[in-house]
Amino acid sequence: MALDTNTEPNSLGFAKPPAETRVVVAMSGGVDSSVVAAQLAEEGYDVVGVTLQLYDHGAALAKKGACCAGRDIHDARRVAGEMGFPHYVLDYENVFRDAVIDEFADSYLAGATPVPCIRCNERVKFRDLLETAKDLDADCMATGHYIRRKAGANGPELHRAADAARDQSYFLFSTTREQLDYLRFPLGHLPSKDATRALAAKYGLGVADKPDSQDICFVPNGDYASVIEKLRPGAADAGEIVDTRGRVLGHHEGVIHYTIGQRRGLGIGGLSEPLYVVKLDVEERRVIVGPKEMLATRTVPVREVNWLGDAAFASAPEWHVTVKVRSTRPAADAVIRPLGPDSAEVELLTPEEGVSPGQACVFYEADSSRVLGGGWIWKG
């Protein structure tokens, strides 16, 4: 929306009073999105809260600490009531299963290590929910993610959060330019989670001391294997644990129980050196183990690249950037060599261990907080 140069933009960047600016807030029921909704309501915006029911509500009620459980829907509704704005619960169960859960299970069965939270942001929250926000005639959609949206010379830019410990840029790399134009992230500038909780207390929100969600919302207690076995019966077929020469060292109860880089729980003790999972051979149902140095990776093939740089991705033979190959890793120096408009080879200047297909490789501008996008790691 073009700004009227005679009107001072409001805090969301629109040249009109907050009361005339409708904003849909994606509310998970947690403290972060609740603070966003409460803050915008207090500032006088026309706030509409929306919570997504993403999987079986009955099953959700039996599990605490997940982002989409029945308690969370109740908490989101309560915040809306306390702050005096409308709140809706949308049934996205089928969409979520088709767009996120099925791929999660299939990726694990193929020996990858998927990141379903990224797919949920990409395919559900920032696609379907964003379209719903537009259908509600909202000027923008706000979320409780810790990331910053800044005005740039060529339009809005995505930047890491001010609090490095809370930064969620790894999980939002696939946000497109069009989506970024419509999205707002009011918490990205805050110095700490304590600051968020202080705001929740200021607004008198009952969720001020609510613990953060730790698990993927449809994976109770981090037990991926049991979820996959339920979704894909027969997925836990037994097989062999072998070394790189094919020598059988032990047996396993399903490849889905293992990830690249895993050392603990292999059940092959008594060896002269520690061994790590270096490869998963799904077709042969084999877990291949080797010494730690075999985990070091320098070349990372990526596809489905989302590029947020100013120039076209394939317009240069290479880009010197920093990248993250896991959410918990620090960004490291790398060179991206485009192979087409949405595929590339990433060279890590310092080899990293445990790089796994199914994870994201997220690009950052060197010596800057700017997020340049990223892609999905695959086997090549």
Encoding tokens for residue 265? 């729980």
Given a contact cutoff of 8 angstroms between Cβ atoms, the answer to whether 38 and 203 are in contact is: yes
Domain ranges of the chain: 18-221, 236-290, 296-377
**Residue 191, amino acid:** P
pLDDT (tens digit, 9 = 90+) per residue, 68-113?
A: 457 889 999 999 999 999 999 999 999 999 999 999 999 988 888 8
pLDDT (tens digit, 9 = 90+) per residue, 319-355?
A: 999 999 999 999 999 999 999 999 999 999 999 998 9
Mean pLDDT, the chain, rounded, equals: 91
Verify whether residue 217 is a known catalytic residue.
yes
Answer whether 18-221 and 236-290 agree in fold: no
67, 68, 217, 361: the active-site residue = 217
- In this predicted structure, the answer to whether residue 199 has a pLDDT above a threshold of 90 is yes
Looking at domain 236-290, which of 3.60.15.10, 3.30.70.20, 3.20.20.70, 2.30.30.280 is its CATH number? 2.30.30.280
pLDDT (tens digit, 9 = 90+) per residue, 127-157?
A: 999 999 999 999 999 999 999 999 999 999 9
Question: How far is it, in rounded angstroms, from Cα 181 to Cα 184?
Answer: 8
Encoding tokens for residue 107? 């990726």
The class of domain 296-377 in CATH terms is mainly beta
The correct answer on CATH 3.40.50.620 for the domain covering 18-221 is yes
68, 117, 120, 361: the active-site residue = 120
pTM above 0.75, yes or no: yes
pLDDT at 269: 75
